[in-house]
Amino acid sequence: MTSRRKVSNLLGLAVLAALRTRPMHPYEVAGLLREWGKDNDMKFKWGSLYTVVGNLEKHGFIKAVGSSREGRRPERTVYALTAEGRAEAEDWVRDLVGRPEPEFPRFKAALSVLGVLHPDEATRLLNERLRLLDERVAAERAGLAALDMPRVFLIEAEYDVAMRQAEADWIRSLLGELRDGTLTGAEAWREYYATGQLPPDWSQPPE
């Protein structure tokens, strides 16, 4: 069990949310999520969908309410939300919103081992990332502005833009500090790649 939740994959939450509108079969759920752009908000993998639906059923959050069959296609099971499922969805969202949990973005991990690269290369890569982020932020902002749609439906997207923007700003400031030498320890880093010698405190940072 990955967490204390019976079904841990967030796709499960999306499925529950979709089934709030009406009973559906899995593929229909997928279509709706696609239409809602949810595949942009969370990992959406076909393989996971059916496992997740199966688990939701196993734990009583949804139940099969019939199956339609057209021609000789595989039978499509239609699922409906149960009372437990409705409660689970609400509780899950409450948890996710109310309690910030530590997350581990890949970029953070990368920053923590940035020392494996030469400072000049690191700088170059950070500039590259910055460029891509700026582009994407601009594109997404434009996309959002073009879409005339009540903004409540778009808060995740607005959040996303805000976060990317913040990351871009942070990188810009880091690059600034690297440029004008106000980032303490940066010379030691450079030194290491010049002389092959670690400053004494690299393998055991003080305190």
Whose Cβ is closer to DNA: residue 75's or residue 135's?
75
CB of 12 within 8 A of CB of 52?
Answer: yes
* Residue 186 touches a copy of itself, criterion: CB under 8 A: yes
d(CA 181, CA 76): 63
Whose Cβ is closer to a copy of itself: residue 75's or residue 177's?
177
Those residues with Cβ within 8 angstroms of residue 175's Cβ, 6 or more apart along the chain or in another chain: 123, 126, 127, 130
Which residue among 63, 76, 172, 190 contacts DNA (CB under 7 A)? Answer: 76
203 exposure class (CB count in 10 Å sphere: 0-12, 13-18, 19+): exposed
Minimum gap (Å) between residue 64 Cβ and DNA: 11
* Residue 71 touches DNA, criterion: CB under 7 A: yes
Binding residues for DNA restricted to 31-50, rule: CB under 7 A: 31, 43, 45-50
User: Using CB under 7 A as the criterion, what x/- string covers residues 51-70 for binding DNA?
Assistant: xx--x--------------x
Minimum gap (Å) between residue 6 Cβ and DNA: 7
* Residue 170 touches DNA, criterion: CB under 7 A: no
Which residue among 72, 184, 196, 200 contacts a copy of itself (CB under 8 A)? Answer: 184
d(CA 100, CA 92): 13
Q: How many CA atoms lie within 13 A of 61 on its CB side?
A: 27
